[in-house]
């Protein structure tokens, strides 16, 4: 099963590199949203430090939703997904492989860029480290949760809008604890509790969402 998992990840990464425009769209969206706020609000650093956690996390959440529509749709269109569902390996292994590849090309770049973009908001080194940590824990949870919505809307007209409506309520806890951890660090209270809750959400997502996504894929394929 591990060989199948690695093969799925490698395949999806290769396909993503052939569709660089989709990957760059998500990355540019994240950068543009975060960069425009200081220009529109002004150079008052105390204000920017206060709004930075919410801006970063809302931008990451929206960027994650932007890429969800293509998580399974291409394999569904060309018939690859149907063949994957017929393989003897458990479907949740295939789902985990596709979600990991999705996160590597859409979530990980956001994590790596966040410290550089955070300099615009005069965030301290500790706040930037917390930002990276929360994004590193939270963005995989966003991809795992979003996979359920992407699987349920396969083949539907306007699937991108439906995905957003389905997964946005489930994203709210990740947004609250992710932004809360950075905000607590900025205010000097410490964000360990929020980070722990993010870790719990990620663990629950790893356990529950692959099973739910597998069932949704079977329903959509039928």
CB 128 within 8 A of CB 114: yes
Number of neighbours of residue 94 by Cβ within 10 angstroms: 24
User: What are the Cα distances from residue 175, in Å, to 117, 124, 139, 161?
Assistant: 19, 21, 10, 20
Nearest to 118 by CA among 103, 132, 138: 132
| Full pLDDT tens readout for the chain, 222 residues | 677 888 888 888 888 888 777 778 888 888 898 988 888 887 788 888 888 888 899 999 888 888 787 788 777 777 777 777 777 778 888 888 889 988 998 889 899 988 888 888 888 888 889 999 999 999 999 999 988 888 888 766 655 677 778 888 889 999 999 988 988 888 878 778 889 999 999 999 999 998 888 888 888 776
Token readout for 183 is 């905000």
pTM for the full predicted model: 0.86
- Tracing tokens 């931008």 back to the chain, one arrives at 59
Token readout for 103 is 């996160």
pLDDT of res. 40: 82
The residue extents of the domains of the chain are: 2-221
pLDDT of res. 202: 93
| Separation between Cα atoms, residue 187 and residue 189, nearest integer Å | 6
């Amino acid at each position: 099963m591990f060989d199948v998992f690695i093969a799925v990840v490698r395949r999806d990464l290769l396909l993503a590199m052939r569709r660089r425009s989709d990957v760059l769209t998500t990355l540019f969206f994240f950068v543009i949203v975060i960069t425009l706020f200081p220009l529109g609000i002004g150079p008052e650093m105390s204000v920017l430090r206060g709004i930075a956690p919410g801006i970063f996390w809302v931008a990451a959440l929206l960027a994650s939703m932007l890429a969800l529509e293509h998580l399974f749709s291409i394999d569904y269109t060309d018939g690859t997904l149907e063949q994957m569902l017929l393989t003897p390996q458990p479907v949740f292994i295939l789902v985990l492989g596709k979600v990991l590849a999705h996160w590597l090309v859409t979530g990980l770049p956001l994590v790596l860029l966040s410290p550089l973009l955070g300099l615009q908001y005069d965030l301290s080194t500790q706040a930037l480290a917390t930002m990276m940590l929360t994004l590193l824990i939270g963005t995989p949870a966003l991809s795992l949760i979003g996979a359920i919505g992407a699987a349920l809307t396969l083949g539907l007209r306007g699937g991108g809008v439906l995905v957003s409506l389905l997964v946005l309520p489930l994203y709210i806890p990740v947004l609250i604890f992710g932004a809360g951890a950075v905000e607590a660090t900025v205010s000097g209270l410490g964000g360990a509790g929020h980070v722990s809750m993010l870790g719990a959400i990620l663990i629950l997502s790893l356990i529950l969402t692959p099973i739910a996504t597998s069932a949704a894929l079977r329903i959509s394929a039928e």
